[in-house]
Structure 1
Amino acid sequence: MTEAGIESEPEMEDLLLRIVPGLAEQWQGSTPDEIAQIERIAGHPLPPFYRWFLSRMGQSMGPLSNSTLDFSAQRVLTCYAEGLVVPDPRFLLIAYESDEMMPLHLFYDFSAPIRNDALVTKRDAQGGELYDMFETLREKLARGALFRFRVSEMPQQCKGLVEGAHPDFLSRLDPVMSSLGFTQPIATGRICRLYERPDAAMICDRTPRAGVGNRVTFTLGGSNAGTLRKILGEIATESSLEVLVRKWIPELR
C-alpha cells in the first residue's frame, strides 16, 4: 500500500507506459479529496484498482482518453451533484457518455467484485437494462490500450473465434502462446487473455455473463499474414482448442 491508501499496479503501469506514447507526461491523477468524495458516494470502500486508476488518470487519461467517454473524477462528481445519477450501493458511475445517439454510461456493478476490482456494465443514467462489458476495469483499460497501440498498428490483422472443450479452456492456450514467445502483460480472468511479443499481439475475450459457452472472440495482429497463420496453426495443434478465422484486415488476395 502506498501513500493515501493507494495500492500499486506495477504490471499495469509497465504495460501502459511501455506501449502508450507520451502517457507519462500527459496522465494526471485526481486529488485525494476527489477520491474521498467518490468513495462517500459509493457508500463503501472503492475497489483498490479504481483508487489506483483515479490516482493516476482521474483528471486526465492523456493519449488513452476516449472521444465520448469521460472517466474524470470531476465529471463523476458533477453527475451526482446535478442529480443525473442517484447514489446506489450496487452501482457507481465511472464514465459519462456524451454521445447523444447512445447515451449509455459506464458503471461499476459492485454485486460482482473480483480481483480487487469489479464488473463494468453500461446502462442509462437513471437505471434500466444492463449491458455488461468487462469483468474488471483493469481488463477494459489494458485491452483497450493493447488493441489501440499494438494490435491495430500491425500491418496484418485477423479476427475470429477460439473455442474450447473445458470451461477454463483459455488456460490451455497459455502454454501454446508461451512456447511461441508471447508473454501476458497483466493477469486476467477466465474469459480474457492478452498476449504480446515484439512482432505480434493477441486479444481474446468475451462479455461476462454472456452465456456463450466455452468461446471467446480473438483479434490477432502481426507483421505479416504468414506470421499470423503460423501462430494460429500452433494454437490449432492443441487438441482441446478450435480456431475459426472470420476476417483478415486487410483482406488477403
Structure 2
Amino acid sequence: MEALYRVLVPDFETQIVGASDEDIERIEGLVGRPLPRFYRWFLMRMGRSMGPFGYPTIDFTAPAVLAGYSERLVHPDSRFLMIGHESDEMMPLHVFYDFDYPARDDARVTKSHPLGGGLHHQFDTLREMFAWGNLLAFHVEALTQRCVGLFYDSDDDVLTRLNPVMHRMGLASPVPSGSHCGLFLGEGASMVTRASPGKEPNIHTFRVGAESPARVRKILGMIGSETTLQVEIREWFPPLSS
C-alpha cells in the first residue's frame, strides 16, 4: 500500500498523521479481539489524518470511530466494528468491518445504517477498498479519456481471465487482491474493477482510463479478443464524438 501511495502522491508521508497507541487499544477493546493486521497498520500510519487520501464524506480516523461509540451512534459488537463515519445525511450508511469474513490479514467491509435496514457489502478487505478508491481518484479519473462498463464471464471469475492479458499489456496489479477486486496500473493507463462480495465474481464493473480514446479502445479490444469475457461499454468520459 505504501508503494502505491508513493506512486499516487510522492510526498504523502508528510501529510498523514497516525493515531495514538491509546486510541488504537480503545478501538480494539470495542470488539474484544485483535484488530486485523492491515487495520492496525492503517491506524498507526494515518489513523488521525489520511492526508490526501481522505474521503469527502467518510471519516475513517480513530477519533471519529471512538466518537461514534461514545455518542451511542453504534454499540460494541464482537462481529461488527464501525470504522468509517458517513456525514452525508441523505445516505447515512456508515462503514463497518464484518469479522465473520476475515481475508488476507484484513476483513470484509460493508455499509449499514445504524438503525438497521440490511448490509451493503463493499469489498473483501479494507485494503482493497482504499486501493480501489485511491487508484480511481488519483490515476484513472486524472487521465484524458475514461470509460465505464461491465465484464461478464459465464464460466469463471472475471479476474482469472483478465489478469494475464492486462499484465501482457504492461498494466500490473500494484496491490494484491482477491477475486472481487481488480487493480491495474501502467504507464499512461489504469483500470479498476469490482464485484460485490458474497456474490459470484463473474460480473465486474470496470472503470478504465488512458491518455487517448485510441489507447482505451486498444485495451478493451485486446480484452475482448484475447479472452472469453463479454465487454459491455456503458459510458465514455468525455463523450466520444460520432
Q: Tell me the TM-score range normalised by the shorter chain.
A: over 0.9
User: CA separation in 1, counterparts of 2:91 and 2:220?
Assistant: 36
Q: Does 1:46 align with 2:35?
A: yes
Alpha-carbon contact 1:20-1:145 (below 8 Å) kept: no
* One of 188, 196, 210 as aligned partner of 1:199: 188
Alpha-carbon contact 2:151-2:158 (below 8 Å) kept: no
Aligned to 1:31: 20
Alpha-carbon contact 1:94-1:107 (below 8 Å) kept: yes
Residues 77-116 of structure 1 correspond to what in structure 2 (within 5 A)?
77-116=66-105
User: CA separation in 1, counterparts of 2:33 and 2:3?
Assistant: 29
Residues 37-76 of structure 1 correspond to what in structure 2 (within 5 A)?
37-76=26-65
Residues 144-163 of structure 1 correspond to what in structure 2 (within 5 A)?
144-163=133-152
User: CA separation in 1, counterparts of 2:131 and 2:165?
Assistant: 21
Distance apart, 1:129 and its partner CA: 1.1
* Paired AA for residue 221 in structure 2: G
Question: For residues 170-199 of structure 1, what are the alpha-carbon distances to aligned partners after superposition, in whole Å with 9 as ceiling and x for unaligned?
Answer: 122111011111111010001111001111
Q: Does 1:220 align with 2:179?
A: no
Distance apart, 1:165 and its partner CA: 3.4
Unaligned 5+ residue runs, structure 2? none
Aligned to 1:7: none
Q: Does 1:133 align with 2:122?
A: yes
User: CA separation in 2, counterparts of 1:165 and 1:250?
Assistant: 31
Q: Does 1:175 align with 2:164?
A: yes
| SS of residue paired to 2:119 | strand
| SS of residue paired to 2:152 | strand
Distance apart, 1:241 and its partner CA: 1.3
User: CA separation in 2, counterparts of 1:67 and 1:226?
Assistant: 32
| SS of residue paired to 1:41 | helix
Alpha-carbon contact 2:123-2:180 (below 8 Å) kept: no
| SS of residue paired to 1:102 | coil
Distance apart, 1:21 and its partner CA: 5.2
Alpha-carbon contact 1:22-1:63 (below 8 Å) kept: no
Unaligned 5+ residue runs, structure 1? 1-11
Question: For residues 81-124 of structure 1, what are the alpha-carbon distances to aligned partners after superposition, in whole Å with 9 as ceiling and x for unaligned?
Answer: 22221101110010111111111110001111111111111111
* Amino-acid identity (%): 46
User: CA separation in 2, counterparts of 1:204 and 1:91?
Assistant: 26
User: CA separation in 2, counterparts of 1:41 and 1:126?
Assistant: 19
Distance apart, 1:240 and its partner CA: 2.0
| SS of residue paired to 2:118 | strand
Distance apart, 1:22 and its partner CA: 3.9
Distance apart, 1:32 and its partner CA: 1.3
Aligned to 1:249: 237
